[in-house]
Structures are given as structure tokens and as C-alpha cells.
Structure 1
Amino acid sequence: MSGVLYVAAKAPRAGFAKTRLGKAIGDDAALRLYRAFISDLAARFATAPFPVGWYVTPADAWPEVAALLPVSDGGARVVVQPVGDWAQRQAALFQGAAQRGEDRTALVASDSPQLTIAVVQRALALLSTCDVVLGPVHDGGYYLIGMR
């Protein structure tokens, strides 16, 4: 199987998604921005040459996330995030990859609206020869993590 990209997405609910940003600009404004992030990512990756899945929380979030997609995707890969901190939830996605038949899996958060198909293709290609890839950011974190 080719590599798979998952986008981590919270239910688009005021006070639930983008809570730190909401404290600065208000929950409604943060929610509008978050919805735009999801829509922009979905539109960009609708033509990707690799499968795109959604890593959602809470368990009932998928219908709300799906409503933001520019194209109905009834066949989307949807994986529900388990309870735990972000590191535990990331680990769970990668641990389940083999069960889902994925040999190369990448994960991004939904707040990377400028992420390109080419960047993800490069990360997935690197996973053919590397066990782990990271897309670093200036603050010491990362915008993409991939594993095989």
C-alpha cells in the first residue's frame, strides 16, 4: 500500500477546538478560523495521489468534520483518537497502522493550512528508507510526523 496522511481534527465546536486561540480572539472567531483550516486542507488534499484520512476526537466528531469538507467523502478513512495526551494519541495511530494495512503513515494537525501535497509526498517517500520522519518548526516542535 502507498503511504497514508492523517489529519488530526477535533470536532468543530466553540470552546473545544483552538481553545488557546479562543482566549485571545474569542471562541467564535477561533472556531471560524478552525473550520477554514479543515476546509482548506481537505480541498488541497482532495487530489492527492495518496489516501487521506481523518484522526478525529471525540468519537462522535466525524459528521461535524465531514460537513466542512468541500466534497462528500463517504469513503474517507476515519480513525477515532483514544483518550490520552497528544503523545499517547499519536502512538495509538501509528501502532494501529499495520492493522489498517498501512506501511507508511504520516500525521499532521489541522492547523497546517499551507501544507502542500509535495511536502507530504516527500515525507512518505522518505519513509521507504527511514523509520521516522519529522517536519520541524522553528519553536522546536514539528508539523508532521511519519512512521513506517
Structure 2
Amino acid sequence: MNNSLLLILTRNPELGKCKTRLAAKVGDKAALNIYKFLLDHTVSFTKDLDVEKWVYYSESIWENDIWDQNSYQKKLQLGANLGERMLNTFQEGFNSGFEKIIIIGSDMYHLSQANLEEAFIQLEKHDYVVGPAEDGGYYLLGMKSLKKEVFHNKSWGSDTVLSDTLKDLESGSIFMLPVKNDVDYYEDIKDIAAFQPFLKPIKE
């Protein structure tokens, strides 16, 4: 898949600066540890994916961290809001000659390498691939040509993002992946076994 590119948006894992909605319930330290766990998990299901991979940092590029420079090209997010930042990453990818580009975040516990492989396969047959999130947003977006409208006039973080995005894409063929949940709130993880070590002090 040498014409395929995976974009991964991450936040620099710093105390008090990541997973703030989760931190409101579990505290800054637990939220940071949970986010680091999710970053490690994202590496685990992307590192062997046979596509080009670019990691976009929110604040600054960290040289010696979990993202192996032999597998991931490191870049910095640019833009005033999430829409602008995503648009700029897609623009850079298409300008570099990639024909199939997929973007994900780094807070998905239920995403797998097989899911990503399926998304790239479906992108060969469809114009767009969308992974709908339970909260009314999306956890994955793939396209074969840049549709700028997708990144404008959205209330990012609200439950209308998915429906508004699908309206922008309705002129093309869309493949919908299964609905999944990303990790934003305590309620998203409170019943998942893998997160219990982080939550144990809170429950005691």
C-alpha cells in the first residue's frame, strides 16, 4: 500500500494538558496515565500496518518517545481548531502524492490493525470511509481526494459532527465502519477491565 497514508493526531502527554474531560473525574495524574496507555495501544495496532504513517503532535515534536522514527514520520499540527489541523494534515498528504489517506486520533481502545486494513481496502472501492463514534463524532475518516468542506463549519466535540460531515460527503460513495467509542469521559472506561488499574484508587 505504498500510495496509502495513515495520519495519527496525538496530544503531547503532559500533566494537566490531556484528557481534561476525563481528568475532571479521575484527576490529572490518572488521566495522564490513561492517555499514555492509549498512546501505547495506538502504537501496538499501527506499527505493523503496511502503509506510510505520519504522527502529528499537538505542541512539539518529541524525538525519543514511543513513536519509532523508523516507522513513523513526526510532524506538528498546525491550525486554530481541530478542523483546520485535520485539513492541513490531509492537504500535506495529498500534496505529497498519496492517493488513499486515513486519519485517526490516539484515544481509541477498541480499534485494531484489522479495522485499519479494512478501511484502506474499502477506500479502494469507495470515495470515503467513515468510522462513526457513539458520541456523534467520528473516530476515523478516509478519503481519496480532498473534500475541504468536511473541515469547515463544524461544532467540534459536539454530537452533530458526524451528521454534518456525512452531508458534506453525500455526493460520493461512503463506506461506514462499525460504530465504536472513543475515550473522553470516565463513563467510557469505567466498565473496561484494562482501565481498572488506573481507576482503582478512585473507586476505593
Q: TM-score, normalised by structure 2?
A: 0.64
Aligned alpha-carbon RMSD (Å): 1.7
**Which consecutive segments of 4 or more residues in structure 1 shift more than 6 A?**
none
Which one has a larger percent strand, Structure 1 or Structure 2? 1
Which one has a larger percent helix, Structure 1 or Structure 2? 2
Q: Which position in structure 1 is the counterpart of 2:14?
A: 13
Q: Which position in structure 1 is the counterpart of 2:31?
A: 30
Q: Equivalents in 2 of 1:130, 1:46: separation in Å?
A: 25
Unaligned runs of 5+ in 1: none
Q: Is the contact between residue 38 and residue 113 of structure 1 (CA under 8 Å) also seen in structure 2? A: no
Q: Deviations 1:11-70 (Å, cap 9, x if unpaired)? A: 110111111111111111000010111111112222222232212111x2333xx5134x
Q: Which position in structure 1 is the counterpart of 2:52?
A: 51
Q: Is the contact between residue 47 and residue 71 of structure 2 (CA under 8 Å) also seen in structure 1? A: no
Task: Write the mapping of 1:1-148 to structure 2, written as runs, cut at 5 A.
Answer: 1-58=2-59, 60-63=60-63, 66-69=64-67, 72-74=68-70, 76-148=72-144
Q: Equivalents in 2 of 1:44, 1:126: separation in Å?
A: 18
Identical columns (%) = 27
Counterparts in 2 of 1:35 and 1:24: CA distance versus 1, 3 Å: same
Secondary structure, counterpart of 1:127 in structure 2: helix
Q: TM-score, normalised by structure 1?
A: 0.86
Task: Between the two structures, name the one with larger relative contact order (CA 8 Å, sep ≥ 6).
Answer: 1
Q: Is the contact between residue 103 and residue 140 of structure 2 (CA under 8 Å) also seen in structure 1? A: yes
Unaligned runs of 5+ in 2: 145-204
